[in-house]
A and B are shown apart, each in its own frame.
Chain A
Amino acid sequence: MNAPQQGLIGQSVRRREDARFLTGRGQYTDDIVLPRQTFAYFLRSPYAHARIKSINTAAAKAASGVLDVYTGEHFRSIGGLPCGWLINSLDGSPMKEPKHPILADGKVRYVGDQLALVVAESYAEAKAAAQLIEVDYEDLSPVVDAAAAKGAPASVHDEAPDNVCYTWGCGDKAATDAVFASAPHITKLEFRNNRLIPNAIEPRAANASYNPGDESWTLYVANQNPHVERLLMCAFVLGIPEHKVRVVAPDVGGGFGSKIFLYAEETALTWASKQLGRPIKWTAERSESFLSDAHGRDHATVAELATDRDGHFLAMRVHTTANLGAYLSTFASSVPTILYATLLAGQYTTPKIYAEVTGVFTNTAPVDAYRGAGRPEATYVVERLVETAAHELGLDPAEIRRRNFIHSFPYATPVGLTYDTGDYDATLNGVIELADVAGYPARKAVSEAKGLKRGIGYSTYIEACGLAPSNIAGALGARAGLFEAGEVRVHPTGKVTIFTGSHSHGQGHETTFAQVVADKLGIPIDDVDIQHGDTGKVLFGMGTYGSRSLSVGGTAIVKAVDKVIAKGKKIAAHLLEAADTDIEFENGVFKVAGTDKSVPFASVSLTAYVPHNYPLDKLEPGLNENAFYDPTNFTYPAGSYVCEVEVDPATGQVRVDRFSAVDDFGNIVNPMIVEGQVQGGIAQGIGQALLEHGIYDVESGQLLTGSYMDYAMPRADDLPSFQIRTAKGTPCTHNPLGVKGCGEAGAIGSPPAVINAICNAIGVKDVPMPATPHAVWQAIQASR
């Protein structure tokens, strides 16, 4: 591609990063081997809840190849892992924040809790030596189930004797209760939002080294936000100088939220690398990933929708107990509160909403953001209630939605958000056409002729993405800013390197961001390189999560590009002997308006670095600009999904036959990549609805789904092909690209569509997620 590239936005440019991934040249953390490399193994608790009476590491230390063994006492004077969001309870008291030690100290609080670090010359030696560590445990009874945690006999932490971290509320309780007291119709559901285990295919990994020559650290880590990782580790845990630590998140094999967080393992490695003076590498075995990656979801909810007889929504009331696990992970507190209850308006004008959330500690792995993070749980509440209400009131599920859609923007919800734009009728009408709802009765007849039950289910979701306006987030308890940073470095020859604080772990930023820059600068896309994931290169960054990369990170880049163009105009004005204000920039060329006098971008960049004929008295040489962008609002992607299932009533087996999605992401830079994001999100959503469930034994606290033999990850033959339309929607009104974000939509919108379809097929009010054959068969039997 040598021609100037204006018009690149909106094109399905094939991904530039694919070449290295397809030829085995990707470089993931475990691929990196440093000189004098050593290897780590973490000894993990086999008990869900136990007091550590003693640990004897003498035999392990003496074992072959072992360099040292560390336990909780080594980290006693060091900070615990911090939580990045303060939630206050209804009574005004701050959430309980017990220390989250780097290695368990005194007690272990979940199966997999790390309590010793063994470093050896080889991984095999470290692992073998760990088996020689003698731990004398006093087994305590565990708290496992969220719904039973509050006031359970056992306490996970002394600081929270009733196991309650917070009881938080959102919305107007009194006004909502008043509506319910006289409501003509109330739809009520009680359900679980099942615990999920993220399962990025690349396990977590880290490789930490200390250089005594300049007293600096380098940490390679599979992570979605290396600057945040560095800040939290340096400032809140280890107390080491931030500017002497370089964190590199190289190619990262999927994240889905699970690699946002600061974990104990990389923190311990960073600390120990200085003690040993050698680099230390750790890569999780998959069994460790199951036990120790932050899990997702795990809500117990009672939800009610008050309507009139015509299906107009009057009020919604939600009580949720959220399982936070044994410790507060980095953003754990915000997920079932700020990212959940604020989405309960959905796409509707429900006038009164109240939600109350009790966050509880249990003896299970920490729970934090997983693709969608609170918004799938909210969408499940809203869309299950809406569809159930439609059936109870004898209304078409599409019609009840239309009667309650928001039509006027901006729209301030009763739960704190202001939607800037949307067209929910358009996406609903679009999906009804795409899904061929008109042909549904004929398909149902065909299924019934085969002895199968067919059902159809809708979901019209909304999400708040583009996290986030820092001042609003701060007022809500965020302890971090949520802007993004970008730098545009124009080289003398007119080639451009972009440094972005966003991080790609599958999202294709090296292509999408380059399309944006090449389009704006009118230069070939091959002249643009995208660098990310290295605090040693990128000025700053908040990273990638919450579908924020293009809307926030992309906007930071656009703002920096605008600065480059503005400076370029001044240089061009000097070269062309014209006034700055007379210079236009188009298609990679600076020209004097209304004349044929022009100078190309590369000449301007060369002049900036060889400033012989240059206004040095009023302009610095060089062409390198950066920008920080803090959004003024969230973005509000929305869409409509329709699912059709066939259920075998004899076995309860569910097959997703058709799944159609129409999404409004505002403007789209690369439709191919966007559709890929939606496909992947829907697959995870169907996984939640039909297959996946992180299950702990309630008696012992053992993780029963600790391997791919037990945890049902969606395989290729579990899924159909989806019909997806992401045609131009309503552009976001407050970022220059008009983009909203697409990474989480599929996982947010799809679970209720699937469950609604199953309920419709078998004629029941509810089936639990995951709707396994056993669960569906039981629901069928119970309804007879």
Chain B
Amino acid sequence: MSQKTTLKVNGKTVTREIAPDRLLVQFLREDLALTGTHVGCDTSQCGACTVHVNGRAVKSCNVLAVQLNGAEITTIEGLAAANGELHPMQAAFKECHGLQCGFCTPGMVMSAVDLVQHHGCGSEAQIREGLEGNFCRCTGYQNIVRAVQLGAQGMK
């Protein structure tokens, strides 16, 4: 039994009939064609699907879309400014070579933004602990840590 659900996704209000078993990530990718949010596992371990729900990082494979009536969702597509200027964290990932294949990147950036917004920049150890929920197989994380440090400066 579908449920009428209204969400604000990247600033736009969306009202849809959504099946109760539909995951947020399915709703974003398949119904809204926001394919920047990725699926890398089926046990909510990898973090590639991380988006912001009401300003907090959430693994979108682990929440049902119908649970989020009235919520504000930001995906990687909605992070940059309307004029296309990259968010400081996006710019920092580019500057620090914090990405290679790009698949984990949207989730990593969304987690990093949440980490800095709620915990500040922190030490290298704190950043590494804060990103523990996001796998990257390409970079060895070193440049991601540098990117978070640089991005945090830009977010001040």
B1-9, B52-60, B63-71, B90-98 - interface stretch: B90-98
Interface residues of B in 9-66 (CB under 8 A from A): 29-30, 34-43, 45-46, 48
Residues of B within 8 A of A21 (CB): 99, 102, 105-106
Q: Does chain B have a CB within 8 A of A784?
A: no
Residues of A within 8 A of B43 (CB): 286, 707-709
Residues of A within 8 A of B135 (CB): 199, 201, 708, 713, 715
* Contact string against B for A residues 179-204, beta-carbon threshold 8 Å, 1 for contact and 0 otherwise: 00000000000000000000111110
CB-based contact B100/A23 at 8 Å: no
Q: Does chain A have a CB within 8 A of B156?
A: no
Residues of A within 8 A of B127 (CB): 716
CB-based contact A201/B104 at 8 Å: yes
Q: Does chain A have a CB within 8 A of B116?
A: no
Interface residues of B in 119-146 (CB under 8 A from A): 124-125, 127-129, 131-132, 134-145
Residues of A within 8 A of B73 (CB): none
CB-based contact A24/B104 at 8 Å: no
Residues of A within 8 A of B95 (CB): 14
Residues of A within 8 A of B80 (CB): 23
Residues of A within 8 A of B103 (CB): 26, 28, 200-202, 253-254
A80-88, A108-116, A408-416, A501-509 - interface stretch: A501-509
Knowing A18-B93, A23-B86 are in contact, say whether A679-B36 is a contact too (CB < 8 A): no
Residues of A within 8 A of B75 (CB): 24
CB-based contact A24/B77 at 8 Å: yes
Minimum distance in angstroms from B105 CB to a CB of chain A:
5
Q: Which listed residue, A252, A672, A722, touches B140 by the CB 8 Å rule? A: A722
CB-based contact B90/A680 at 8 Å: no
Q: Which listed residue, B30, B38, B45, B128, touches A716 by the CB 8 Å rule? A: B128
Interface centre among B45, B135, B136, B140 (most CB of A within 10 A): B140
Instruction: Give the residue name and chain of the A residue nearest to B125 (CB).
Output: A717
CB-based contact B36/A24 at 8 Å: yes
Residues of A within 8 A of B82 (CB): none
A676 to B99, CA, bound (A): 9
A595 to B129, CA, bound (A): 64
Minimum distance in angstroms from B55 CB to a CB of chain A:
19
Minimum distance in angstroms from A645 CB to a CB of chain B:
17
Q: Does chain A have a CB within 8 A of B109?
A: yes
Residues of A within 8 A of B138 (CB): 201, 254, 506, 676, 680
Q: Which listed residue, B40, B42, B106, B132, touches A715 by the CB 8 Å rule? A: B132
A682 to B124, CA, bound (A): 19
Residues of B within 8 A of A251 (CB): 101-102
CB-based contact B94/A254 at 8 Å: no
Interface centre among B39, B46, B106, B137 (most CB of A within 10 A): B137
A344 to B128, CA, bound (A): 37
Minimum distance in angstroms from B32 CB to a CB of chain A:
12
Q: Does chain A have a CB within 8 A of B152?
A: no
Residues of B within 8 A of A28 (CB): 35, 38, 103
Knowing A14-B94, A24-B106 are in contact, say whether A202-B143 is a contact too (CB < 8 A): no
Knowing A201-B103, A679-B142 are in contact, say whether A25-B94 is a contact too (CB < 8 A): no
Knowing A24-B106, A717-B129 are in contact, say whether A506-B100 is a contact too (CB < 8 A): yes
Q: Does chain B have a CB within 8 A of A355?
A: no
Residues of B within 8 A of A505 (CB): 101
Minimum distance in angstroms from B82 CB to a CB of chain A:
13
Q: Which listed residue, B34, B38, B124, B143, touches A676 by the CB 8 Å rule? A: B143
* Contact string against B for A residues 698-722, beta-carbon threshold 8 Å, 1 for contact and 0 otherwise: 0000000001110001111101011
Minimum distance in angstroms from A197 CB to a CB of chain B:
11
Residues of B within 8 A of A172 (CB): none
Instruction: Give the residue name and chain of the B residue nearest to A26 (CB).
Output: B102
Instruction: Give the residue name and chain of the B residue nearest to A711 (CB).
Output: B45
Residues of B within 8 A of A507 (CB): 100
Interface size class, chain A? 35 or more
CB-based contact A506/B86 at 8 Å: no
Q: Does chain B have a CB within 8 A of A285?
A: yes
Residues of B within 8 A of A18 (CB): 93-94, 99, 102
CB-based contact A202/B40 at 8 Å: yes
Q: Does chain B have a CB within 8 A of A287?
A: yes
CB-based contact A506/B132 at 8 Å: no
Q: Does chain B have a CB within 8 A of A17?
A: yes
Q: Does chain B have a CB within 8 A of A15?
A: yes
CB-based contact A672/B102 at 8 Å: no
A672 to B125, CA, bound (A): 23
Instruction: Give the residue name and chain of the B residue nearest to A505 (CB).
Output: B101
Q: Does chain B have a CB within 8 A of A673?
A: yes
A253 to B137, CA, bound (A): 10
Q: Does chain B have a CB within 8 A of A31?
A: yes
Residues of B within 8 A of A442 (CB): none
* Contact string against B for A residues 673-686, beta-carbon threshold 8 Å, 1 for contact and 0 otherwise: 10110011111100
CB-based contact A673/B97 at 8 Å: yes
Minimum distance in angstroms from A55 CB to a CB of chain B:
26
Minimum distance in angstroms from A120 CB to a CB of chain B:
15
CB-based contact B101/A23 at 8 Å: no
Knowing A24-B36, A24-B77 are in contact, say whether A679-B48 is a contact too (CB < 8 A): no
Knowing A721-B142, A721-B145 are in contact, say whether A22-B93 is a contact too (CB < 8 A): yes
Minimum distance in angstroms from B85 CB to a CB of chain A:
11
CB-based contact B101/A287 at 8 Å: no
Instruction: Give the residue name and chain of the B residue nearest to A17 (CB).
Output: B102
Minimum distance in angstroms from B122 CB to a CB of chain A:
12
Instruction: Give the residue name and chain of the B residue nearest to A19 (CB).
Output: B94
A75 to B113, CA, bound (A): 50
Knowing A23-B86, A31-B35, A716-B145 are in contact, say whether A203-B93 is a contact too (CB < 8 A): no
CB-based contact B137/A287 at 8 Å: no
CB-based contact A22/B86 at 8 Å: yes
Q: Which listed residue, A14, A31, A201, A716, touches B132 by the CB 8 Å rule? A: A716
Minimum distance in angstroms from B13 CB to a CB of chain A:
20
A324 to B110, CA, bound (A): 40
Interface centre among B101, B109, B139, B145 (most CB of A within 10 A): B101
The 4 residue pairs across chains A and B that have the minimum distance between CB atoms: A24-B36, A253-B103, A21-B102, A683-B140
B: which residues have CB within 8 A of A? 29-30, 34-43, 45-46, 48, 75-77, 79-80, 86, 90, 93-95, 97, 99-106, 109, 124-125, 127-129, 131-132, 134-145
5 pairs, CB–CB < 8 Å, chain A vs chain B? A22-B86, A23-B80, A253-B40, A506-B100, A680-B138
A: which residues have CB within 8 A of B? 14-15, 17-28, 30-31, 33, 199-203, 251-254, 256, 283, 285-287, 505-508, 672-673, 675-676, 679-684, 707-709, 713-717, 719, 721-722, 746
- For the complex with contacts A23-B36, A28-B35, A256-B137, 19 further pairs of A-B residues with Cβ separation under 8 Å are A14-B95, A19-B94, A22-B99, A23-B76, A23-B86, A26-B103, A201-B46, A673-B97, A676-B100, A676-B143, A680-B137, A680-B140, A708-B43, A713-B135, A715-B132, A715-B141, A716-B129, A716-B141, A717-B132
